[in-house]
Structure 1
Amino acid sequence: MNKNFYAELKQELTQDILPYWTKHARDTVNGGFFGSIDNNNKCKAKEERSVVMVSRFLWSYSAAARLLKDASYMEMADWAYAYLSKYFFDTYYGGVFWSVSASGKALITRKQIYGNAFALYALSEYAVALLEIKKEETPAQVVMTHALTLFTLLEKHAKDAKQGGYWEARAQNWAETKETKLSQKDIDCDKSMNTNLHVMEAYTNLYRTLPLVFPHKSAEQKQIGHALEELISVHVSHILNKKDFHLDLYFNKNWKQTGKDEISYGHDIEASWLLWEAATELGKKTLQNALKPIVLTVAEKSLVEGFDPSTGGFENTFLNGTKDTTRVWWNQAEALNGFYNAWEITGRTDFAKAVEGVWQWIVTKQKDKVHGEWFAEVSKDGVPNKKEAKGGNWKTSYHNARCCMELMRRM
């Protein structure tokens, strides 16, 4: 592995990614963050704002403050939390709304479980940042209590107690709803890989952080651990396709696959390391031993089918016999995480070379050297698609800041 890799990651994180969003994303008139930023860094002030965007900013800057032990990042974290708690918290039914207008009016009020998971993920990280960086014990406990409340609500209203896993969405009052589509690229479904993956991610972080704020909540910790272990089982039993070791995307209530039979290389490699992280946090050797060949096979399939060694880029999807070779920003970030994790487990040079290849692609092709940050999409030939926004409701600091921090933390 490149001996200067740590320094390069830190420079990318602290000199480009985090400063970019601090400078360009904040709406100082309405509060919160702009719902769209173009490739010339011009913001669309009237664009609606999603809970995913706000939560991802909250997580990113909280995590950065903790890893780098730098209190300056708490300003953005505090800004995100103030907006999230003021406009997205449903004070009547609990949980968080999906989106609000620029003025803060609730727009889509249904309980998209994916959005609630990201709020939980962010709140649990922010709570510990308040405690460790700002030394604010009571505010940290208030925020962690919000995270615990979300966990309780998801377990009560979003979990399928019979078949396992979590529903795609619920109405504002947590009743069933047929409107479940996560984005324009997705379909209405009962359950999805994406939502269950990110509930697992959120529960992993809650399991890791709760004892730091509430050391004596052992009963709650046990509940979270049990739910997390069940989620790992759901991924292995229902979401992972045993025929090809890719993840299926959409399902009905009984976990029968529905919709398009598409392979998402980014989700495959992301799942490989998030599953391993969940099992590692639980600390059960038998679970890790059972999971190791699975996560490594998923990573290996991603390496063989998704990684392009000739350019270093990591490809997008495979559908109906056609591969989409577009290099999407978040796929590159998750490929770094996933291949690095596989290299740590195995020591295999092919995984190490993939990490180095993807990183070189990022710094030479994905990175916008003129206006900052990363292009959302770049062709196999290295041409950016500038029709895709530089930032907004789905593109924030989360994926690329996280890959820098995740690798730095492991080095």
Structure 2
Amino acid sequence: MKNVKANKERINQLISQYQKELDDHVIPFWMKHSKDTEHGGYFTCLSRKGEVYDTDKFIWLQAREVWQFAKLYNTYEQKAEWLEMAEHGAAFLQKHGADDQGQWYFSLNQKGEPLIQPYNIFSDCFATMAFGQLYKATGKEEYGQLARSTFYSILERQDNPKGVYNKAYPGSRALKNFALPMILSNLALEIESLLPQELIQETLDKIIHEVMEVFYFPEEGLVLENVSPDGQFVDCFEGRLLNPGHAIEAMWFMMDLGEKLNRPELIEKAVKITLDTLEYGWDKEHGGIFYFMDIKGHPTQQLEWDQKLWWVHLETLVALLKGYYHTGNEACWEWFEKVHDYAWKHFSDPEHGEWFGYLNREGKVLLPLKGGKWKGCFHVPRGLLYCLQTLERMKDER
């Protein structure tokens, strides 16, 4: 791998590139195309050019977009139209998003009528993030209270997140999944100002242990998606499953926690796992990071295993820059340049804005959509924003 130094000129060049993409090609795309002015909330099923091709509304994408515009307002530039965009989505969520028990639906129709039950706890996670960030922007207690109550609900459900919607046969093979502790590590930091400090500390201690000890298998240097309830390897399809993007995204969450808690050893370990995961997950024939893998090299059951996805590469860029900023590890910078080149060449769409989401193994666009059931206004703008902010920190400290 070619060693490209992170010199001042290169950092300035990257700052300009990421800022222009965010300001001129990504945020304007969502501002122009996603707002539903008739029924509230956002359209996320958008074609390459931004045309709406389906009007269903998915709660976690609605909440992610609220969070994104509130985050931009809080940490990037206090544009009134960004705050208005966030509150527009929040009003729709407050009115339609949750059932009588305060659990958040998975999806609604355009008018806000429920389509799919609240089986997915990640709707609740992103609702918490959205209203926590809006509370920071506005100081409105209704937002803070909603974030707080939803977070407490998540903690109550964390041992059985699907509840009555769990499809597993009782008493059969039990597995716990990496995704919830992973997202809680970020979520707890997002809303720490709204919660008792002892609860935050207790939650973070548990989650750091889960992410960095229970799901991490040091002999392989890899993080598994599923383990037994007591943290053991289970030799089945689900037990052997790797999701390199999930693992790497979790590692920059750990780096943020390491900085917050003044734990440099946590940052160093997160950097090591990031680099080991990249070495394992990089497609050495065609470039890019595989979506799913099997820790023993067996065939996966996910037919999309060899696709290259937008969010995986953006989260990797964030992790590598944070890793380099905190440790100065040159391997982080070398990998950053390599992933940066791949991502900008294959995902960015300078003609119509935003980024493509789904490529085949060879790097050709599989679906020209810019949004859908799983892709919304989140990973691209968040990734660009966090890369930009880390690059600016690097520039300032040099």
Q: In 2, Cα distance between the equivalents of 1:108 and 1:310?
A: 40
**Within 5 Å, which residues of 2 pair with 1:122-137?**
122-130=130-138, 137=139
Structure 1 residue ranges without an equivalent (≥5): 131-136, 161-166, 172-176, 181-187, 211-216
* Inter-CA distance 310–250: structure 2 relative to 1 (3 Å threshold): closer
Q: In the alignment, which of 371, 389, 398 is matched to residue 369 of structure 2?
A: 389
Q: What is the aligned partner in structure 1 of residue 25 from structure 2?
A: 16
Q: In 2, Cα distance between the equivalents of 1:238 and 1:295?
A: 14
State the shift of 1:254 in Å. Answer: 4.0
Q: What is the aligned partner in structure 1 of residue 396 from structure 2?
A: none
Q: In 2, Cα distance between the equivalents of 1:150 and 1:118?
A: 10
State the shift of 1:385 in Å. Answer: 0.8
* Deviations 1:47-100 (CA, angstroms, capped at 9, x unpaired): x3221101110111111112222322112211111111111133x312322221
Q: What is the aligned partner in structure 2 of residue 302 from structure 1?
A: 277
Q: What is the aligned partner in structure 1 of residue 225 from structure 2?
A: 249
Q: What is the aligned partner in structure 2 of residue 145 from structure 1?
A: 145
* Deviations 1:254-279 (CA, angstroms, capped at 9, x unpaired): 44546432221111211111122123
* Deviations 1:299-355 (CA, angstroms, capped at 9, x unpaired): 111232234689763332323446955321001100101111221232122211222
Q: What is the aligned partner in structure 1 of residue 3 from structure 2?
A: none
How many residues align? The count is: 368
Q: In 1, Cα distance between the equivalents of 2:256 and 2:38?
A: 39
Give the alignment's Cα RMSD to 1 decimal: 2.5
Q: In 2, Cα distance between the equivalents of 1:326 and 1:309?
A: 14
Aligned residues of 1:114 and 1:168 also touching (Cα < 8 A): no
Q: What is the aligned partner in structure 2 of residue 275 from structure 1?
A: 254
| Aligned: 1:313 with 2:321 | no
**Within 5 Å, which residues of 2 pair with 1:323-338?**
324-338=305-319
| Aligned: 1:108 with 2:116 | yes
State the shift of 1:244 in Å. Answer: 1.4
Q: What is the aligned partner in structure 1 of residue 166 from structure 2?
A: 178
Aligned residues of 1:67 and 1:405 also touching (Cα < 8 A): no
1:148 partner amino acid: R
Aligned residues of 1:250 and 1:259 also touching (Cα < 8 A): no
1:246 partner amino acid: L
Q: What is the aligned partner in structure 2 of residue 356 from structure 1?
A: 337
Structure 2 residue ranges without an equivalent (≥5): 1-5, 393-398
| Aligned: 1:377 with 2:384 | no
Q: In 1, Cα distance between the equivalents of 2:285 and 2:119?
A: 43
TM-score by length of 1: 0.82
Aligned residues of 1:53 and 1:392 also touching (Cα < 8 A): no
Q: In the alignment, which of 179, 186, 197 is matched to residue 201 of structure 1?
A: 186
1:64 partner amino acid: L
| Aligned: 1:228 with 2:199 | no
Aligned residues of 2:244 and 2:278 also touching (Cα < 8 A): no
Percent identity, aligned pairs only, is 20
Deviating more after overlay: 252-261 vs 144-153: 252-261
Deviating more after overlay: 326-335 vs 107-116: 107-116
Q: In the alignment, which of 384, 390, 393 is matched to residue 404 of structure 1?
A: 384
* Deviations 1:108-141 (CA, angstroms, capped at 9, x unpaired): 22352222111111211111122xxxxxx3x2x2
Q: What is the aligned partner in structure 2 of residue 30 from structure 1?
A: 39
Deviating more after overlay: 55-64 vs 389-398: 389-398
Aligned residues of 2:268 and 2:327 also touching (Cα < 8 A): no
SS at match of 1:392: coil
2:224 partner amino acid: D
* Deviations 1:205-234 (CA, angstroms, capped at 9, x unpaired): 112x43xxxxxx6xx132122212211111
Q: In 1, Cα distance between the equivalents of 2:14 and 2:20?
A: 10
Q: In 2, Cα distance between the equivalents of 1:317 and 1:302?
A: 12
Q: What is the aligned partner in structure 1 of residue 67 from structure 2?
A: 59
Aligned residues of 1:98 and 1:115 also touching (Cα < 8 A): yes
SS at match of 2:53: coil
State the shift of 1:248 in Å. Answer: 1.4
* Inter-CA distance 11–93: structure 2 relative to 1 (3 Å threshold): same
Aligned residues of 1:249 and 1:262 also touching (Cα < 8 A): yes
SS at match of 1:244: coil
